Amino acid sequence: MDGNAFSIIASEDDFACGYKDCKVCGETKPLKEYRVEAKGVQGRKAVCKNCNNTPTIKSPKKGTISNDRIQQALEAAAYRIIKESM
């Protein structure tokens, strides 16, 4: 058996004992750490309560400039100013 088969068997054992892996943080936690959801596996959400309460960073809306592009533009402008002053 390769290492992947063993990890699948181990996670199935945890699954049967009332534990579940969080899809965000990847930690194995008891079912009481997950909110109830009728459609979910074992009747629970896929994300633990802690990760579910953590605010997420939303992607910029279409037509806006991302922070990375702003940073790149500022660095290019600073480089151009320094180069011109020499």
E strands along 37-80, which residues?
44-48
- Does residue 79 have a pLDDT over 80? yes
User: Cα 27–32–36 angle (5° rounding)?
Assistant: 105
Average pLDDT on 37-54 reads 84
Report how far residue 48's alpha carbon sits from residue 21's, in angstroms, rounded to the nearest whole number: 8
Length of the chain equals 86
pLDDT at 74: 86
Pairing relation of β-strands 28-30 and 34-36? unpaired
Alpha-carbon gap, residue 47 to 67, rounded angstroms = 28
pTM for the model: 0.44
Alpha-carbon Rg of the chain, whole angstroms? 23
Residue 52: predicted pLDDT: 83
Query: pLDDT tens for residues 32-43?
Result: 898 898 887 788
pLDDT above 50 (res 12): no
